[in-house]
């Protein structure tokens, strides 16, 4: 029985490695690097798109080499409550941030609503990424984030999954998202 248990555990470990499993600590580090590239690039893409409204793509050089190419569309509605919806398709090509190199594509949608009470940002991330460097493995992304801000507080909640883990695995990752750049 002990030998059968050992074989089963070895098979499970091999399956996780073969599937590109990323442990929770590495998932957090990978998310921080991915979000850093997305946040930096999104702000620059938005600025460039505002200047050149019909621009189809924006290429951002990543901090440690490589690039992230953004394709974006936007819809703005102004009234008592202003709402802005962005859709991005981002292709990472050897995009290095903080020792983590990202390849693959992620699609994310951002909906922003502002009112006198505060700001609500809802983000939906979907894609397949491959990490190398300080984090190695493949990662399926099906993640939703809800960021609410007011004059006195900010709350962030993640649902869905990231690298095979519950979306909450990334909740305590400090990525300093600037809501004004989304």
pLDDT score recorded for residue 115: 83
pLDDT score recorded for residue 38: 82
Interval 29-80: pLDDT, tens: 999 999 888 876 555 545 544 444 445 678 888 999 999 998 877 777 777 7
Instruction: Spell out the residues 6+ positions from residue 133 whose beta carbon is closer than 8 angstroms to its own.
Output: 96, 99, 100, 101
How large is the greatest C-alpha to C-alpha distance in the chain, in angstroms?
69
Q: Kindly state the average pLDDT of the residues 14-25.
A: 60
Q: Are 113 and 81 in contact (CB under 8 A)?
A: yes
CA 151 → CA 115, 118, 119, distances in Å?
A: 11, 7, 9
Q: Are 122 and 139 in contact (CB under 8 A)?
A: no
- For the chain, give every domain's residue range: 22-181
Per the confidence metrics, is the pTM higher than 0.85?
no
Q: Kindly state the average pLDDT of the residues 135-163.
A: 92
Structure tokens at 72: 């974006």
Interval 80-117: pLDDT, tens: 766 677 788 999 999 999 999 999 999 988 888 888 88
Backbone dihedral angles phi then psi of residue 27, each to the nearest 5 degrees = -60, -40
For 167-178, b/e burial (b = at least 16 CB within 10 A) is: bebbeebeeebe
pLDDT score recorded for residue 53: 47
Structure tokens at 39: 């946040």
pLDDT score recorded for residue 177: 44
């Amino acid at each position: 029985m002990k030998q059968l248990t050992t074989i089963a555990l070895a098979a499970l470990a091999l399956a996780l490695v073969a599937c590109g499993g990323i442990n929770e600590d590495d998932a957090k580090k990978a998310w921080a690097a991915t979000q850093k590239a997305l946040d930096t690039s999104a702000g620059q893409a938005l600025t460039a798109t505002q200047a050149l409204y019909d621009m189809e793509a924006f290429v951002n050089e990543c901090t440690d080499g490589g690039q992230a190419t953004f394709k974006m569309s936007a819809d703005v509605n102004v009234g008592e409550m202003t709402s802005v919806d962005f859709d991005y398709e981002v292709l990472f090509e050897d995009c290095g941030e903080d020792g983590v190199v990202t390849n693959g594509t992620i699609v994310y949608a951002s909906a922003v609503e502002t009112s006198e009470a505060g700001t609500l940002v809802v983000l939906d991330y979907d894609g397949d990424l491959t990490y190398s460097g300080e984090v190695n493995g493949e990662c399926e992304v099906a993640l939703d984030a809800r960021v609410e801000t007011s004059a006195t507080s900010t709350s962030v909640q993640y649902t869905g999954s990231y690298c095979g883990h519950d979306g909450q695995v990334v909740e305590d990752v400090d990525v300093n998202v600037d809501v004004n750049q989304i």
